[in-house]
Structure 1
């Protein structure tokens, strides 16, 4: 199998061969191409997409498979399903369903390296809690963490007390990737969380109080700590352009990545809906997802391909840098995916894009060496 497209970094046309599910030869060619060629996108935070929701009470293996297939069509070849705060039995059930879906389909197993638990060990306070149900937010519990099983590969924790900081240390030693998020922790507690092993900040700049002390506060502490890689939701709603640009410059491109934080309403028509993530919500024509009758966000509804295009516009990035934020950078946390290199997994996309576009117009997707979209 061969794929041809323009290199976002150099503008040259590349021809890539695929052999046994891996990238083979990468060769420059004089053949013209109207499409760009890049690694498949890597999304570390996906609650749902196109009507498929891993947090739904009736989630089953077909839902997980359909979620992966839908995200493939949007250019995402590595998917980290995100299970939010819920009763323990619901969390374990969702993880079990994801595990069975992986066991039943090799392509799903390749797409999903592990699951992300965003909660339940979060702040219970209004603002930091975000859209998480207060009834299901609870103190850090190492016993529950161990009962989640092997598929729990990432956990977002609010390190606002000793139990949470200790859990971060224990989880890190168990091999989990620990993220800080939905928190009212002090700057000192943020530092101690990083000391204990936290390596990520979950959708930094969101899920906090409407008003914070000028300084110090937990946002400054996370931006300043080079041990923490920051995820950002670049959908044009969660962060104003100036805020995103300033945070990206403070953290540095090398320590930043994009996430969609998509709910099941991503890719759906505007209207009012009821979902497990957010309850009664309204999706506007611009993609803003909010609680009905309030100005508060209820999750995100745009794809990671949208996020790349929006990030480029908001922060005046090159196409190559925008793609890096959604491929190689998050790929560090999925075994080194998201790179265009001989021997790497053959997860590739071609797409059309021009400056000012609101999304990447994905035309071809190869996942694990298989063509899953050709238009």
Structure 2
């Protein structure tokens, strides 16, 4: 199988030959192409998409498989299902469904490298808590992490007390990545958390108080610490353009990546819905997903392909840089996905795009060399 398109970095037309699900050859093709070619997008935070919800009480392996294909059609070939704060038995049920789906389908196993648990070890304070259900927030507990099993590869935790910082150190030793998020931690606690092994900041700039001290505060500390890689939601709602541009400059492109934070309502019609992520939420015509009766956001409703295009516009990025934020950079945390190199998995997309577009118009998707339709 062969797939071709223009290289976003050079503009040259490339032809990729796929052999046994991997990139077997990359050659320069003659003549212009009307599509761009790139590695498949890598999303470290996906709660759901197009009605498929990994946080639903009745989640099963069919839901997980459908989710992989739904986000795959939008260009995301590696996704990390994200479970939010819930009773422990609900977390176990979702993990079991994801594990069964991976065992049943090699392509699902390829697309899902591990699971991200966002909570329940988060701040209970209004603002930092976001729309996580306060009934199920609880202190960080290494024993609970062990009960979750090996499928959990990332945990978002608020390091606002010694138990959470000890948890980060223990989880890191176990090979589980820790991200800081939904927190009211002090700058000193943020630094201690990074010292303990925290590597990422979950959707930085969101899930915090509506009013913060000018300085110091936990945002400045996370932006300043070069040991932290930051995730950003570039959907035009979670961060204003100026804020996103400045945060991206502070972290540097090399320490930044995009996430969709998509919920099951992504790609759905505007209206009011009830969902495990946020409870009663409202999806506006412009894609803003908010908790009914409050200004708080309840996740996102746009794909990562939308986020790449929006990030390019908001921060004045090149197409190649915008793609890097959703391919190679998050790919570091998924075993090196998101690279167009010989021998790598043939997770590839072609798409149309022009400056000012609000999305990447995905035309063709290969997942481990298999077309996603």
2:368 and 2:177 map into 1 onto residues whose CA distance is 24
Q: Deviations over 1:140-160 (max 9, x none)?
A: 111101100010000000000
Deviation at 1:77, TM superposition (A): 0.2
Equivalent residue runs for 1:1-375 within 5 Å: 1-373=1-373
2:120 and 2:296 map into 1 onto residues whose CA distance is 21
Deviation at 1:298, TM superposition (A): 1.3
2:158 and 2:297 map into 1 onto residues whose CA distance is 20
Q: Deviations over 1:70-90 (max 9, x none)?
A: 011010000100000000111
Deviation at 1:29, TM superposition (A): 1.6
1:229 and 1:182 map into 2 onto residues whose CA distance is 16
2:211 and 2:372 map into 1 onto residues whose CA distance is 46
Q: Deviations over 1:50-103 (max 9, x none)?
A: 000000000000000000010110100001000000001110111111000000
1:10 and 1:121 map into 2 onto residues whose CA distance is 44
Contact 2:131-2:296 within 8 A present in 1 as well: no
| Secondary structure class of the residue paired with 2:305 | helix
Shift >3 Å, 4+ stretches: none
- TM-score, structure 2 as length reference: 0.99
Contact 2:59-2:94 within 8 A present in 1 as well: yes
Deviation at 1:31, TM superposition (A): 2.8
1:296 and 1:207 map into 2 onto residues whose CA distance is 9
2:86 and 2:64 map into 1 onto residues whose CA distance is 18
2:155 and 2:127 map into 1 onto residues whose CA distance is 20
Gaps of 5+ in 2: none
1:292 and 1:146 map into 2 onto residues whose CA distance is 36
2:81 and 2:11 map into 1 onto residues whose CA distance is 33
1:145 and 1:60 map into 2 onto residues whose CA distance is 22
1:295 and 1:156 map into 2 onto residues whose CA distance is 23
1:170 and 1:292 map into 2 onto residues whose CA distance is 38
Gaps of 5+ in 1: none
1:20 and 1:29 map into 2 onto residues whose CA distance is 22
| Secondary structure class of the residue paired with 1:313 | helix
2:299 and 2:328 map into 1 onto residues whose CA distance is 25
Contact 2:101-2:109 within 8 A present in 1 as well: yes
Deviation at 1:32, TM superposition (A): 2.0
1:192 and 1:49 map into 2 onto residues whose CA distance is 35
2:128 and 2:290 map into 1 onto residues whose CA distance is 16
Contact 2:345-2:369 within 8 A present in 1 as well: yes
Deviation at 1:372, TM superposition (A): 1.4
- TM-score, structure 1 as length reference: 0.99
| Secondary structure class of the residue paired with 2:220 | helix
Deviation at 1:294, TM superposition (A): 2.5
CA RMSD of aligned residues (A): 0.6
Q: Deviations over 1:224-265 (max 9, x none)?
A: 111100000000000000000000000000000000000000
